[in-house]
Structure 1
Amino acid sequence: MRSRRMAAAMSALAVVAGGLVSAAVVGGAQPAFADCEITEQRPPQQGQQQEREQPEDQPQDQPQDQPQQQDEAPQDQGNRDQEQDQDQGAQQDQENQNQDGRQDQDQGAQQDQQDQNGQDQNGQSQNQGGALVRDPVADPEANQEADPEADPEASAETFGRRDGDRFRNRPTPSRRPSGSASPSPSPSPTGNGSDCDDIGPFVSDFVDIRQIPARRLDARIGRGGSRGTFVSRCGTNGEGHNNPDNFIVAPGVRNGAHHLHDYVGNLSADAFSTDESLEAADTTCRLGDKSTYFWPVVRNRLVDENVEDPDRNVGQVLRPRAVILQFRGNATARVVAMPRFLRLITGDAKAATNGPANARAGWSCSGFTNRVSPDKYPLCPRGSQVLRILDFPSCWDGQNTDSANHRTHVVFPDQGGACPQGTQPIPQLRMTLAYSVPRGPSFALDAFPEQLHNPVTDHGDFVNVMPERLMSTVVNCINRGRRC
């Protein structure tokens, strides 16, 4: 009698377990890549071409070791003489396991929060109320002359912290829509078949800003140098002008960038932009500046959005709190005007695989702008914002508005700030972008999929469409040592 009861119980549990597995496969829950915790180590051989085998589909919220724990349930149940509902036992085991996992995550989040709070006590020059710190490097508007026509919305101080931002350490359970089909997950370079391992970034891609050595960022300006600055006020892309195009590098190609760009300035910029279309468009900038300024977006990886993106740029797009577009002088000489429709790029979107030769990323925190990391995301103290500082080349060949590699017609000055022989200094564009991000390693830059969201791949693009009169004003401000 007892053996028959046990046989019946085993059969019932097998049916239940089979039903759970079938439901998971048939239901096809969408893998929530945004729920993947940032892992400890970067996969080996990043950037090298690897042969990959397609693993079987596996729901993202089902732990990989779950089948083994379900197999242990009949042994405990078979040792009891009482008849119990096997379905309830299996469900209870599942609930206990999920609860243990949540407790482990909560404890980890609390510990990280305590560590961050401990670091905050040593913070310096932190901003208050979410406004960007008024720093002369990150925010040159702090020392500018008053301009009665200035748009108050373009000021760095007017962008407060949004109510929706939350400072958290660990991803929360997925809030993905139900009923969507599950795509085949990409294999993991680490070989364990996880959807999370080959997305990036990794814990090694982050650093506490206080661990970055302080250094002088700019060459000392000599007697013949040009000390002035001009800031073009263009807003923070409140219009929602985004696309994954890059008409400089991949003209006429939709999704040529394979990652989303933020745009300010020219409102028409897309894959098919031409000099004529840019000239005819409206702009978000003051004083008739129709130039286009764009860069890859930063995403909050704690929010489960954009999970079906084929290039694996997942998470919620974070709009910059401040965008400062500053044109600067040259350390050794006066500057000359940029030609109209000059195209400039800075950084290398594929630096993680190409190497650092063209990399120009600069990551910092407000209040710590003498500490800039070229290859790590910064972990900032509470109240401090993440900064991206992107300097553009400024030594023009005097003839061309573009070149085959989009680099040789305008190059960077040497370490002393002087332009190479045969080139002329033009106003140097410095983009400073400020973000409020969740606490901890929780954000990432959009990137080509094989770059694994490496911070070294940060880059920016610019096309000069200023009226000639405005460019003349820029040059005069810089050469006369004014702040405009």
Structure 2
Amino acid sequence: MQWKALALALLVERGFGQGMFPMMRFSCSQLVVDRLDPLVTPGSIPSPHLHQIVGGNSFNASMDPATHDLPSSSTCTSCTFSEDFSNYWTAVLFFKARNGTYKRVPQFASEGLRADGGITVYYIPAADGRSNVTAFKPGFRMLVGDAAATAPGSARKVCHRCMPKTGDNSNINCGAPDSQALPAGQCAGGIRSVITFPTCWDGVNTDSPDHMSHVAYPEGSNGNDVGAAGNCPASHPVKIPQVMLEVMWDTRPFNDKSIWPEDGSQPFVWSTNDKDGYSQHGDYVFGWEGDSLQRAMDARCNGAVCNALKTQSSEAAMKCTKPRVVEEDIDGWTTSIPGQTM
């Protein structure tokens, strides 16, 4: 499997030896594409920009952690592991044609997985393969990236890669040739987004006003760090699993220079109205049932097979969808991106 080669490449790069690097890797099919954001603009219908959402079907505009319990409120999940009712969401990519119209870019499943678009989710325990990590607590949520970013640097753990026609066996955690900017040219294998969450927690707060301050990256970490590598700062001493999102955007149908801008500039735009790429972001609301995630981390589960967890078929996961709350055209050619003034 190509993804196992990726894991090994990460191990060698970070100096963790030649053994197999344990990481849960599984698909979460598309739950809904909607203009809702219960973290940044809770209760707002519609939210300022469009998101693509996966996970438990109790997702809604509010999701007050004091009253909303994802496992008990959801009746299904679009993820492989049927005990994972968490929600994960990112911005949506659009193509802007030469004539000024827009078309939403669909997603496709990562290598070796079956899904209806959506997101490939990784959970990575301690990178040394020995240290324990503490699973998230009920009500835990966090955010990586900045939907308002207009320059590089604000989200070093959010990156893009122009994928070749066949598999790419180099690292998957924002190392070269990944870039915070969207690729400039046509990509034979589509565009991949990777969003990597912090691995250190303050041990007290399950959220913070900016949805970031209660978590931190390890000291000295950089774009190539993976897992819970490195020492956590004293302010955030608890090691937590690393959550990483991988989204494959199917830009291949748009690889026609006759519809690209006449000046040859790249034509893709995030749903935040960002043509550079810096505003891609990822949101996470924890919703694993009971102690299931802790069991999986303790068992060092690897890939999409884990004896410590319950799984469901890809067909069952793909059936877990929900209707959009905000009715607007997100599938046809449009003169503007939903929520954006051009």
**TM-score, shorter chain, exceeding 0.5:** yes
Tell me if the contact between 1:402 and 1:409 (Cα under 8 Å) persists in the aligned partners. Answer: yes
- In the alignment, the residues of structure 2 paired with residue 470 and residue 303 of structure 1 have an alpha-carbon distance, to the nearest angstrom, of 49
- In the alignment, the residues of structure 1 paired with residue 62 and residue 43 of structure 2 have an alpha-carbon distance, to the nearest angstrom, of 5
String of CA shifts for 1:295-348, please: whole Å, max 9, x gaps.
0111122397xx8xxxxxx62212210231010123353312111221011111
The offset of 1:401, in angstroms, is 0.7
CA gap 1:468/1:219 in 2 versus in 1, 3 angstroms: farther
Tell me if the contact between 2:202 and 2:238 (Cα under 8 Å) persists in the aligned partners. Answer: yes
> Residue 228 of structure 1 aligns with which residue?
22
Tell me if the contact between 2:155 and 2:278 (Cα under 8 Å) persists in the aligned partners. Answer: no
> Residue 326 of structure 1 aligns with which residue?
122
Q: Does 1:434 align with 2:230?
A: no
In the alignment, which of 290, 293, 312 is matched to residue 471 of structure 1?
293
- In the alignment, the residues of structure 1 paired with residue 155 and residue 189 of structure 2 have an alpha-carbon distance, to the nearest angstrom, of 29
> Residue 200 of structure 2 aligns with which residue?
395
- In the alignment, the residues of structure 1 paired with residue 186 and residue 98 of structure 2 have an alpha-carbon distance, to the nearest angstrom, of 21
In the alignment, which of 51, 54, 57 is matched to residue 267 of structure 1?
57
Q: Which runs of 5+ in 1 are unaligned?
A: 1-132, 144-213, 308-313
Q: Which amino acid in structure 1 is aligned with residue 153 of structure 2?
A: P
In the alignment, which of 31, 34, 37 is matched to residue 246 of structure 1?
37
> Residue 270 of structure 2 aligns with which residue?
445
The offset of 1:227, in angstroms, is 4.0
CA gap 1:473/1:137 in 2 versus in 1, 3 angstroms: farther
- In the alignment, the residues of structure 1 paired with residue 279 and residue 200 of structure 2 have an alpha-carbon distance, to the nearest angstrom, of 23
In the alignment, which of 387, 395, 417 is matched to residue 230 of structure 2?
417
- In the alignment, the residues of structure 1 paired with residue 85 and residue 202 of structure 2 have an alpha-carbon distance, to the nearest angstrom, of 23
CA gap 1:401/1:434 in 2 versus in 1, 3 angstroms: same
Q: Which amino acid in structure 2 is aligned with residue 253 of structure 1?
A: S
TM-score (norm. length: structure 2): 0.66
- In the alignment, the residues of structure 2 paired with residue 328 and residue 398 of structure 1 have an alpha-carbon distance, to the nearest angstrom, of 19
String of CA shifts for 1:7-26, please: whole Å, max 9, x gaps.
xxxxxxxxxxxxxxxxxxxx
CA gap 1:382/1:226 in 2 versus in 1, 3 angstroms: closer
In the alignment, which of 376, 379, 397 is matched to residue 181 of structure 2?
376
Q: 1:44-123 alignment to 2 at 5 Å?
A: none
Q: CA RMSD in A?
A: 3.3
- In the alignment, the residues of structure 2 paired with residue 383 and residue 331 of structure 1 have an alpha-carbon distance, to the nearest angstrom, of 32
CA gap 1:218/1:301 in 2 versus in 1, 3 angstroms: farther
Q: 1:122-201 alignment to 2 at 5 Å?
A: 134-136=2-4
String of CA shifts for 1:241-279, please: whole Å, max 9, x gaps.
1222211122112233x2110011022323222342634
Q: Which amino acid in structure 1 is aligned with residue 22 of structure 2?
A: G
- In the alignment, the residues of structure 2 paired with residue 443 and residue 368 of structure 1 have an alpha-carbon distance, to the nearest angstrom, of 25
The offset of 1:382, in angstroms, is 5.8
The offset of 1:431, in angstroms, is 0.6
- In the alignment, the residues of structure 2 paired with residue 436 and residue 231 of structure 1 have an alpha-carbon distance, to the nearest angstrom, of 20
- In the alignment, the residues of structure 1 paired with residue 12 and residue 186 of structure 2 have an alpha-carbon distance, to the nearest angstrom, of 21
- In the alignment, the residues of structure 1 paired with residue 69 and residue 197 of structure 2 have an alpha-carbon distance, to the nearest angstrom, of 24
Q: Does 1:385 align with 2:181?
A: no
Q: Which runs of 5+ in 2 are unaligned?
A: 110-118, 222-228, 258-265, 306-342
In the alignment, which of 340, 347, 361 is matched to residue 138 of structure 2?
340
CA gap 1:388/1:255 in 2 versus in 1, 3 angstroms: same
- In the alignment, the residues of structure 1 paired with residue 104 and residue 12 of structure 2 have an alpha-carbon distance, to the nearest angstrom, of 29
Q: Does 1:455 align with 2:277?
A: yes
- In the alignment, the residues of structure 1 paired with residue 268 and residue 180 of structure 2 have an alpha-carbon distance, to the nearest angstrom, of 15
- Larger proportion of helix: 1
Tell me if the contact between 1:391 and 1:428 (Cα under 8 Å) persists in the aligned partners. Answer: yes
The offset of 1:356, in angstroms, is 2.3
> Residue 202 of structure 1 aligns with which residue?
none
Tell me if the contact between 1:330 and 1:418 (Cα under 8 Å) persists in the aligned partners. Answer: no
Tell me if the contact between 1:226 and 1:330 (Cα under 8 Å) persists in the aligned partners. Answer: no
> Residue 213 of structure 2 aligns with which residue?
408
In the alignment, which of 91, 102, 111 is matched to residue 315 of structure 1?
102
CA gap 1:342/1:248 in 2 versus in 1, 3 angstroms: same
CA gap 1:303/1:462 in 2 versus in 1, 3 angstroms: farther
Identity of aligned residues (%): 22
Bigger Rg, structure 1 or 2: 1
Tell me if the contact between 2:42 and 2:62 (Cα under 8 Å) persists in the aligned partners. Answer: yes
> Residue 70 of structure 2 aligns with which residue?
278
String of CA shifts for 1:217-241, please: whole Å, max 9, x gaps.
9744389x99421134322x1x5x1
Higher relative contact order (CA 8 A, sep 6+): 2
Q: Which amino acid in structure 1 is aligned with residue 249 of structure 2?
A: Y
> Residue 340 of structure 2 aligns with which residue?
none
> Residue 351 of structure 1 aligns with which residue?
149
